[in-house]
């Protein structure tokens, strides 16, 4: 092969051509900026003004590396993300030279340690919990910490595969999200909860109604059904999957046109009042034999009280088998910012509120409570158990375990880690076997550390957590027990004052 040698004049000529091309591009940009009417900065400062928009965009990605403090950034700070990364890789949660967690910050929770913690050989693992014990096929749930609803479509196929395999390995359940049941959810062979959103993807008859045959077919592969009433990220707004993410495969699974935005209704057409919801629960439970629950974000205690009143009138057997309480901090999918920022209560208020309403109506033992909403660490999970949850589920925690770097591009089909994109080139970065290992390790470690916290409080296992076992900082130097902030209510008996509020 001949070696090409360039003379000095050749190099000068090439550089001249390159400079000419650059100058031509700058001239084109200059003319574009001068005559466009959309951006004042570009019009007044052609070419140079473009830097303003470029740097503004890059700020989203570089703040977390160079400018934000370890516990400053939202929605998840660097300390939290780093803890999940280390945990998922099996590196443990050890740190040195003290914590950067400010125990004077209002809202911080502090667990009440016992002077006589139990020895390891004195502790017993938490027993499995049964969801829907009176159903034909009850769900025996082994794990406290599980995977929340994320649909195939919102997530890529490799991401769903890794979650499926990892969840099965760790013995935790995986919620399918509202996008239907894909082959990737089934790959690991673990426990699945099928979520029914307002479009009823995968169990719809084509006219917006439930299809009993499809329900029965799905019931053979899942452990329970969850009716999504609302979610913390966008209460009052149905699920949205941008057109760029609606591939032919996703369209086939959901039963919708390909390459068109999938926008679900903001409620189930059949459900206009609590009695309608109980009708749907009873129907799905009868058709499938599986436990049936609901997922909802709460704006006040009015709706849960109305639901409990309807259950009281019908009988305790009409109650849902579980309620997933989603905090307003939710946000693994695309949603309008105004809903993410300003609608529905945070989990710190919603969870104890719902647990108390169920307790007041004598339903607390009948209905399992699942907590959701930015609960990604073992301390978060332990707090939720103290507040009244039986289980905790997380979406973004497991996204971090998959390698998410919080680039805030979930809705753009440009996720750099391959988790929320259907771009084959970007998906190559997500190696299913490696990420499945991290999912399993993260899930197992969180469940393990929750028990460690329980032992520190003098408890045998995490199921024994109560509100008196955690304190909440109110101001620097002063904290109050959760049992003081949210006292356990008295149980009402039938015939007490009935809720009169109406929800239009």
What's the CATH number where 342 sits? 3.20.20.70
Contact 451, 122 (CB under 8 A): no
98: left (phi over 0), alpha (psi -120 to 50) or beta: left
CA pair distance 281, 283, nearest whole angstrom:
5
Residues 225 and 294 in one domain: yes
pLDDT band at 372 (very low <50, low <70, confident <90, very high): very high
Residues 230-261 pLDDT 10s: 887 677 677 778 777 788 889 889 888 888 88
Say if residue 123's pLDDT is above 90. no
- pLDDT for 134 beyond 90: yes
pLDDT in tens, 385-412: 999 999 999 999 999 999 888 877 777 7
* In the predicted structure, residue 424 carries a pLDDT above the cut 50: yes
Whether residues 60 and 126 fall in one domain: no
pLDDT confidence bin for 500, thresholds 50/70/90: very low
pLDDT recorded at residue 69: 59
Identify which of 196, 368, 182, 358 has the alpha carbon closest to the alpha carbon of residue 283. Answer: 196
The answer to the question of residue 442 being in a domain is yes
Which structural domain, as residue segments, surrounds residue 60? Answer: 8-67
Which element (helix H / strand E) includes 399?
A: helix 396-402
Q: Cβ(320)–Cβ(281) under 8 Å?
A: yes
d(CA 443, CA 438): 8
Residue 498 maps to a domain: no
Check residue 368 and give its pLDDT: 98
Asked if residue 104 belongs to a domain, the reply is no
In this structure, the answer to whether residues 190 and 323 fall within a common structural domain is: yes
Strands (E), 309-425: 322-326, 368-372, 391-394
Backbone angles phi, psi at 390, to 5 degrees: -95, -35
Q: Indicate whether 160 pLDDT > 50.
A: yes
Please report the pLDDT score of residue 217 as a whole number. Answer: 96
What is the pLDDT at residue 244? 76
Mean pLDDT of 329-357: 82
Give dist(CA 446, CA 91) in Å, integer.
13
183 has pLDDT over 90: yes
- Structure-model confidence comparison of residues 56 and 67, the more confident one: 56
Q: Is residue 172 part of a domain?
A: yes
d(CA 418, CA 428): 7
Confidence of residue 482 (pLDDT cuts 50, 70, 90): very high
Does residue 96 lie in a domain region? Answer: no
Q: What is the pLDDT of residue 178?
A: 92
Q: How many domains does the chain have?
A: 2
The reply to whether 127 and 247 lie within a common domain is: yes
Provide mean pLDDT across the span 45-59. Answer: 74
Question: Which is it for the CA torsion 336, 339, 341, 345, positive or negative?
Answer: negative
- Whole-number mean pLDDT of the chain? 87
Q: What is the mean pLDDT of residues 136-163?
A: 95
Same domain membership, residue 351 and residue 219: yes
What mean pLDDT is predicted for residues 477-499? 80
Residues 424 and 330 in one domain: yes
Higher pLDDT, 300 or 53: 300
User: What's the pLDDT band for 56 if we cut at 50, 70, 90?
Assistant: low
Q: Are strands 224-228 and 292-297 parallel, antiparallel or unpaired?
A: parallel
Are 354 and 461 within one domain? yes
**285 — alpha (psi -120 to 50), left (phi > 0) or beta?**
alpha
Residues 329 and 393 in one domain: yes
Decide if 75 is inside a domain: no
Domain boundary among 48, 67, 86: 67
Residue 111 belongs to some domain of the structure: no
**Domain co-membership, 51 together with 137:** no
Report, as an integer, the average pLDDT of 219-231: 95
Same-domain status, 17 and 150: no
Same domain, 45 and 135: no
Q: What is the mean pLDDT of residues 425-443?
A: 93
- 224, 327: one domain: yes
């Amino acid at each position: 092969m001949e070696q090409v040698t360039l003379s000095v004049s050749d190099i000068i000529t090439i550089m001249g051509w390159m400079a000419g091309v650059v100058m031509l591009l700058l001239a084109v940009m200059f003319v574009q900026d001068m005559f466009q009417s959309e951006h004042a900065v570009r019009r007044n400062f052609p070419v140079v003004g473009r830097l303003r928009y470029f740097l503004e965009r890059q700020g989203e990605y570089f703040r977390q590396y160079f400018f934000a403090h370890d516990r400053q950034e939202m929605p998840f700070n660097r300390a939290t993300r780093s803890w999940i990364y280390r945990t998922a890789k099996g590196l443990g949660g050890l740190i040195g030279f003290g914590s950067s967690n400010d125990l004077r910050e209002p809202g911080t929770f502090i667990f009440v340690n016992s002077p006589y913690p139990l020895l390891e050989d004195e502790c017993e693992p938490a027993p499995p919990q049964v969801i829907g014990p009176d159903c034909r096929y009850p769900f025996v749930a082994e794990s406290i910490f599980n995977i929340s609803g994320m649909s195939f479509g919102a997530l890529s196929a490799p991401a769903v595969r890794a979650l499926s395999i990892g969840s099965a390995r760790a013995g935790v359940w995986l919620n399918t999200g509202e996008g239907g049941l894909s082959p990737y959810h089934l790959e690991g062979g673990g426990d699945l909860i099928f979520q029914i959103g307002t479009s009823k993807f995968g169990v719809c008859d084509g006219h917006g109604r439930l299809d009993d045959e499809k329900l029965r077919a799905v019931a053979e592969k899942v452990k329970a059904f969850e009716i999504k009433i609302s979610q913390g990220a966008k209460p009052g707004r149905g699920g949205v999957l941008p057109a760029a993410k609606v591939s032919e495969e996703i369209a086939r699974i959901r039963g919708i046109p390909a390459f068109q935005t999938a926008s679900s209704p903001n409620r189930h057409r059949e459900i206009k009042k609590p009695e309608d919801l109980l009708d749907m629960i009873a129907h799905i439970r009868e058709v499938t034999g599986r436990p049936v629950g609901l997922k909802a974000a709460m704006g006040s205690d009015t709706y849960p009280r109305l639901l409990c009143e309807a259950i009281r009138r019908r009988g305790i057997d009409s109650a849902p088998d579980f309620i997933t309480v989603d905090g307003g901090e939710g946000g693994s999918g695309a949603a309008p910012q105004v809903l993410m920022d300003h609608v529905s209560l945070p989990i710190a208020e919603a969870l104890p509120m719902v647990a108390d309403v169920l307790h007041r109506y004598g339903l607390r033992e009948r209905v399992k409570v699942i907590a959701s909403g930015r609960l990604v660490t073992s301390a978060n999970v332990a707090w939720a158990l103290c507040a009244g949850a039986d289980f905790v589920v997380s979406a973004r925690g497991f996204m971090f375990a998959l390698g998410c770097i919080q680039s805030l591009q979930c809705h753009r089909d440009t996720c750099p880690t391959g988790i929320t994109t259907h771009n084959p080139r970007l998906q190559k970065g997500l190696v299913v076997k490696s990420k499945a290992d991290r999912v399993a390790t993260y899930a197992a470690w969180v469940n393990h550390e929750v028990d460690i916290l329980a032992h520190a409080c003098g408890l045998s296992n995490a199921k024994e957590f109560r509100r008196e076992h955690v304190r909440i900082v109110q101001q620097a130097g002063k904290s109050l027990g959760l049992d003081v902030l949210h006292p356990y209510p008295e149980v009402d008996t039938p015939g007490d004052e009935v809720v009169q509020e109406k929800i239009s």
